[in-house]
Structure 1
Amino acid sequence: MAQKQLVIIAGPTAVGKTNIAIRVAEHFGTEIISADSRQCYREMSIGTAKPTKEEQARVKHYFIDSHSVAEELNAADYEQLALGYCAAIFEDKDVAVVCGGTGLYIRALCEGIDSMPATDRVIEQALQQEYEQKGIGWLQQVTAAEDPEFFAIAEQQNPARLIRALAFRRSTGSSIVHYRSGTIKERPFGILKIALELPRQELYHRIDRRVDQMMIDGLWEEAETLYPMRRLKNLQTVGYSELFDCFDGRISKSEAIALIKQHSRNYAKRQLTWFRKDKDYHWYSPWESEALLAFISKALEAHES
């Protein structure tokens, strides 16, 4: 193959990305780089829907269980890590697969991201204090008003990310979404972007069933072990923050489960909005695996000629 090729498998939560990515990786005899901002944390497994041990045994995965939940990573960190993973795979393989739903991480790998200016810690601390007094509803309202473009694609139940983005906006006058020089970085490999989709009600049903299965698999117990660390930024996220509220007595267990489902559906909608803005994506149903493999093979062959 004349040029190394990166195949992106993106899409909303619970759409079936892992299964398709494994099929693609096995077909081309290669490995997978995760583009999920939470599956890299060792302590968070059930609530992040990591590939199972059996799936990881079938295909080697990078950026899974690679960091502690206490470590804070951003898109710039991911760019450098993922480029290193690509280099390792491309040493003896012509194709690498990226699988995940964190759109900013995928964009950082494909296009590059600039080093960001420091956020004013005084502003960030003041926002943190105000959030603790007024709650998540206030924080969502202020972020939506001051940085609507970020809020439209953000994980809206994650106060740490909302505070960081709002502090960045107030510190620099720019949205964190747009902090790039405008120059897309050259990559030493080709990029083919695939996104998966399902009819909305089918996707929402899959999300609900996944949450129910997570509870059966032990999400409640996993959250209990993480509860002492609940103030860590990486734990202020869907699937955990709702259960922490339950442990604190703010809501019932059934209410927490219902909120996890609702917030996951909301997040899936924002993910779809993000990926549909990028016209380079080719859209497939997760049930079209044979057609998808044929399309990828043909696209890669075209790059050879």
Structure 2
Amino acid sequence: MNTAIIIAGPTAAGKTSLAIRLARHFGTRIISADSRQCYREITIGTAKPTPAQLAAVPHYFINSHSIREQVSAGIYERLSLGYAAAIFASHPVAIICGGTGLYLRAFAEGIDEMPAIPPPVREAVRQAYAQHGLPWLQAQLQQRDPAFYATAETGNPHRLLRALEVLEATGHSISSFRTSSPHPRDFRIIKIGVTLPKPELHANIHQRVDEMMAEGLVEEVRSVLPYRSHNALQTVGYQELFQYLDGTLSLPEAVDQIKTHTRQYAKRQLTWFARDQDYHWFNPQEEEKIIAFITQELDKV
């Protein structure tokens, strides 16, 4: 049976390098499950695979879209299943690698189609968030959609923004559009989670942020200022530098906040993946152990 191997985990844990090694070992290709790496205009702040890594193994959903386009989890589900079918046409194994939990869930289980959000509604919500910040966003949903808020990732502005947009556009809670009914897949899925001890993960995060700044992240953020309301830019690394460019943060303050917010994001990623008991967890440096586990799973009837 065809098999999709999911490699998930927090940012800066080493997913990309591991996925490339696994893809070369099993002679296959990689589908990215990162909600921002698909955009051609943002490279430094999204920690895309390097040109050498992209040359080593064919990747799908990297540099596939323009920042002028909106890509949702529903769109990703259709695209990723198409990519998997293309891989399975000549390879029995496909690698799916990324840290966007909602995209991985969309690939593995399917996702309910959300209503389209009129651009004026999206723009109004994004502008209000930019002006008032996360506490305002949390208060809006806590007051207007308490049932959703009770189970939401309240520290995740992307999810909260989406919920408020749906509420504004339809008058209904985003929860009312979710059926939570998994869609069967015609291939097997093996879920691998990778992470590092907290001190090592945090050190990797800090080093990565410093490297991004040295590579020119400020100029990249400046280049996408006209698109600052885009979903992909409501995220760590871009929001803080928008504030720097607006004059509300100094550059050292912005860098410190990027590091802090990235650590917090990594913690939310781990919490998300920990809810799924199908993940088998490893240190990403345990390559032989991971390969042995996957091989054993592949050999099962």
With normalisation by structure 1, the TM-score equals 0.90
Distance 2:161 2:117 in 1: 11
CA gap of 1:89–1:43, structure 2 versus 1, over 3 A, is same
Map 1:102-117 → 2, pairs under 5 A: 102-117=100-115
Aligned residue pair count: 296
Distance 1:53 1:124 in 2: 34
CA gap of 1:116–1:51, structure 2 versus 1, over 3 A, is same
CA contact (8 A) 2:127 2:229 kept: no
Alignment partner of 2:66: what SS? coil
CA gap of 1:182–1:151, structure 2 versus 1, over 3 A, is closer
Distance 2:292 2:279 in 1: 16
Distance 1:108 1:82 in 2: 9
Distance 2:249 2:35 in 1: 27
2:73: which partner in 1? Answer: 75
Alignment partner of 1:207: what SS? helix
CA gap of 1:270–1:172, structure 2 versus 1, over 3 A, is farther
Distance 1:289 1:100 in 2: 17
AA in 2 matched with 1:198: L
Question: Alpha carbon RMSD of aligned pairs, Å?
Answer: 2.2
CA gap of 1:47–1:17, structure 2 versus 1, over 3 A, is same
Distance 1:132 1:96 in 2: 39
Distance 1:135 1:152 in 2: 13
Distance 1:223 1:212 in 2: 15
Offset at 1:186?
Answer: 1.3
Alignment partner of 2:281: what SS? strand
CA gap of 1:142–1:202, structure 2 versus 1, over 3 A, is farther
Offset at 1:198?
Answer: 1.4
CA gap of 1:207–1:141, structure 2 versus 1, over 3 A, is farther
Which string of whole-angstrom CA distances, capped at 9 and with x for unpartnered residues, describes residues 107-135 of structure 1? Answer: 11111112224558887566456435533
Offset at 1:221?
Answer: 1.9
Which string of whole-angstrom CA distances, capped at 9 and with x for unpartnered residues, describes residues 226-269 of structure 1? Answer: 22332333222211111111111101000000011111111111
Q: Does 1:234 align with 2:236?
A: no
CA gap of 1:133–1:8, structure 2 versus 1, over 3 A, is closer
CA contact (8 A) 1:12 1:101 kept: yes
Distance 1:107 1:19 in 2: 22
AA in 1 matched with 2:274: R
Question: Could you list the runs of 5+ residues in structure 1 that have no partner in the other structure?
Answer: none
Percent pairwise identity:
51
Distance 1:289 1:72 in 2: 36
Distance 2:203 2:141 in 1: 30
Distance 2:155 2:90 in 1: 37
CA contact (8 A) 2:7 2:15 kept: yes
Offset at 1:283?
Answer: 0.4
Distance 1:193 1:144 in 2: 34
Alignment partner of 1:192: what SS? strand
1:8: which partner in 2? Answer: 6
- Select the residue among 118, 131, 134 that pairs with 2:129: 131
CA contact (8 A) 1:144 1:151 kept: no
2:16: which partner in 1? Answer: 18
Which string of whole-angstrom CA distances, capped at 9 and with x for unpartnered residues, describes residues 198-225 of structure 1? Answer: 1222211111111011111221221122
Offset at 1:152?
Answer: 4.1
With normalisation by structure 2, the TM-score equals 0.91
2:165: which partner in 1? Answer: 167
Map 1:233-272 → 2, pairs under 5 A: 233-272=231-270
Which string of whole-angstrom CA distances, capped at 9 and with x for unpartnered residues, describes residues 69-116 of structure 1? Answer: 111111110000000000110010000000000001111111111222
CA contact (8 A) 1:150 1:175 kept: no
CA gap of 1:125–1:55, structure 2 versus 1, over 3 A, is closer
CA contact (8 A) 2:35 2:232 kept: no
Which string of whole-angstrom CA distances, capped at 9 and with x for unpartnered residues, describes residues 42-79 of structure 1? Answer: 00101000000000100000000000011111111000
Distance 2:173 2:3 in 1: 34
Alignment partner of 1:188: what SS? coil
Distance 1:44 1:92 in 2: 31
Distance 2:127 2:228 in 1: 16
